[in-house]
Amino acid sequence: MMQTMQRMYAPTVALSFLCLASNVGFVDANKFLGQIPVHLESNVELEHVLLSELEETLGNEHRTFTEKRLKAIKSAAQPIFAALPKNEYGKLGSATASYALNRVFLARHAWFVIGLEPFRAMASWNASDPTSILDQRVPEFITGLFSTRLGKSGFGVHELSVLAATIEHFVYKESLVRLNAAYRSLAFSKEDALGEEEVETVMDTYMTLYTLGNYVTNMSTVSKEWVRGLRANVTEVNPYFPATQTFLRDVQQSIAPNRDYFYYSDVASIVEEVGDRYGHYQDSECRELKDWLVEMEDPAAGGAGRVRVADFYNAAMNKGRWQFSESVEYMRQLGALDE
């Protein structure tokens, strides 16, 4: 079941990076964590150093993806950076950088990234490190590049933007794991040239895995039969899915209009664009969920802005509001319970 409190605001991006580890080769970690030369006074030059170090570890594909997005990311980050308090170096400390990253992803994609949730108490924010969302998902020397080299002086716009682009690339890599599972379930090969209707089928299957990902234990090894079963029942579980299909068709036409055939790279480009746009598209669903919650607001004295847990679950069990099914423990973790 899709998680309601996540859908109320925007999709949560689970950075599991399932396919990243297999693509990272062995490198000299000490060299990777070496000190940036003291003569690097230019933020732009520091940006190039970061990109080069990441390229050495993650490959040219990462640098190409990152550089393609940097200008737009910096455009989103600049006003956020300007409005935030700076440290003695004129940069953002760890907690402030975490907040800035959260705002950048909201502005660009309406994403809530696990580890940057604004529901956290201020104590958690103050103790947070913007690189902590990478922990246990990528080799230590990746997080070390940012936390060790930048931990003392903090994050400027350039460093923050490179980190944001790096995270976006990991999200994209995760999306390819779902795309590959969709291909396998349909008996398509990455070498196949697909027709327009076949691509639509692939994208419908991909989005099924995106919205019903909680039903999949391991996206890299999920069976064809399980994926097909999810696809056959997705509308029953998620009544919004037909509208989502229309959204997918619109994205496909905007990326590759009037195409007769598509290679894997073409489909991957559609997936990338879907990931960038879906959060803002889903906002209409989120507003509807908000309206439903307002309707259930507790009318008792002191109940303003609150929904009784019993009413929340009653809406799911007896009024067809299947989205309201999160466990008490999950909502407690989000900070959504008033106890």
pLDDT tens column, 199-248: 999 999 999 999 898 889 999 999 999 999 999 999 988 888 999 999 99
* 8 Å CB contact between 4 and 331: no
The tokens for 19 are 């396919």
Q: Average pLDDT of 43-72?
A: 72
Name the pTM for this structure.
0.70
Exposed/middle/buried for residue 201 (C-beta within 10 Å: 0-12, 13-18, 19+):
middle
User: Does 196 score more than 60 pLDDT?
Assistant: yes
* 8 Å CB contact between 64 and 55: no
324-327 contacts at long range (C-beta below 8 A, 24 or more positions apart): 324/4, 324/292, 325/1, 325/4, 326/3, 326/4, 326/5
Highest mean pLDDT among 4-13, 63-72, 325-334: 63-72
Domains in the chain: boundaries: 4-173, 187-283, 296-334
Q: Average pLDDT of 252-265?
A: 92
Q: Per residue, what are the HEC states of 212-242?
A: CHHHCCCCCCCCHHHHHHHHHHHHHHCCCHH
121 φ, ψ to 5°? -65, 155
Higher pLDDT, 3 or 265: 265
